[in-house]
């Protein structure tokens, strides 16, 4: 689990620091592992291979990481706080689609079962629509 420091002898590492002009962040990493950044519309995950103070440079849109550089070790005698809050996410997923038949001739019917799950942290309202080529298939029953 990654943690964020409360203080430091290094001026850029007093916690998470943004530099909007250069599209950079400085972040203390206490444990190796992935961190997902959510700026703009697309989450970006980066795996940090060791603890330390890291500088992450982003592209102009903030949607891609341009460069990652480890600046040094974490200072000694620093109190760490665990980041236990998960970021809220929108994540509606199709878990499974099953059909009893692999070929359905015109005029015949088939049951298609679609399993959909809300794997995010927000309540979601959504609909499921099935198509054959570009034509919408009539749904007789759906539930979520």
Residue-wise pLDDT for 100-127, tens only, equals 888 888 888 888 888 888 887 778 887 7
Asked whether 68 and 37 are in contact (CB, 8 A), the reply is no
CB of 54 closer than 8 Å to CB of 68: yes
Which tokens in the block code for residue 65? 């990481």
The pair of three-digit structure tokens given for residue 25, joined into one six-digit string = 């962040």
The answer to whether residue 23 scores a pLDDT higher than 70 is yes
Please answer whether residues 119 and 91 qualify as being in contact, where contact means their C-beta atoms are separated by less than 8 angstroms: yes
pLDDT score recorded for residue 6: 36
Structure confidence at residue 5 as a pLDDT band (50, 70, 90):
very low
Nearest Cα neighbor of 77 from 21, 25, 6, 3 is: 6
All structural domains of the chain with their residue ranges: 3-82, 92-136
Q: Which two tokens stand for residue 39?
A: 């700026």
Task: Return the pLDDT at 13.
Answer: 40
Count how many Cα atoms sit within 13 Å of the Cα of residue 20 in the half-sphere of its side chain.
1
* pLDDT for 15: 60
Q: What is the pLDDT of residues 67-98, one digit of tens each?
A: 999 998 887 766 655 554 556 778 888 888 88
pLDDT, tens digit, for every residue of 29-64? 887 888 887 766 678 888 989 888 889 998 888 788
Environment class of 35 (CB within 10 Å of its CB; exposed 0-12, middle 13-18, buried 19+): middle
CA distance 118 to 122: 8
Q: What was the pLDDT predicted at 31?
A: 79
Distance of alpha carbon 11 from alpha carbon 33, whole angstroms: 24
Q: What is the C-alpha separation between 53 and 35, in angstroms, rounded?
A: 14
């Amino acid at each position: 689990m990654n943690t964020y420091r409360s203080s430091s002898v290094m001026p850029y590492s007093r916690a998470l620091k943004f530099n909007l002009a250069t599209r950079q962040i400085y972040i203390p990493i206490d444990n190796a592992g992935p961190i997902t950044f959510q700026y703009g519309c697309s989450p970006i995950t980066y795996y940090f291979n060791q603890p330390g103070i890291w500088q992450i440079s982003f592209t102009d849109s903030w949607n891609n990481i341009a460069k990652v550089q480890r600046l040094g070790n974490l200072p000694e005698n620093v109190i760490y706080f665990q980041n236990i809050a998960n970021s809220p996410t929108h994540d509606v997923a199709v878990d499974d689609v099953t059909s009893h038949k692999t070929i359905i001739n015109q005029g015949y019917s088939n049951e298609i079962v679609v399993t959909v799950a809300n794997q995010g942290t927000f309540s979601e309202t959504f609909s499921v629509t099935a198509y054959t080529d570009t034509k919408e298939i009539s749904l007789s029953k759906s539930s979520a």
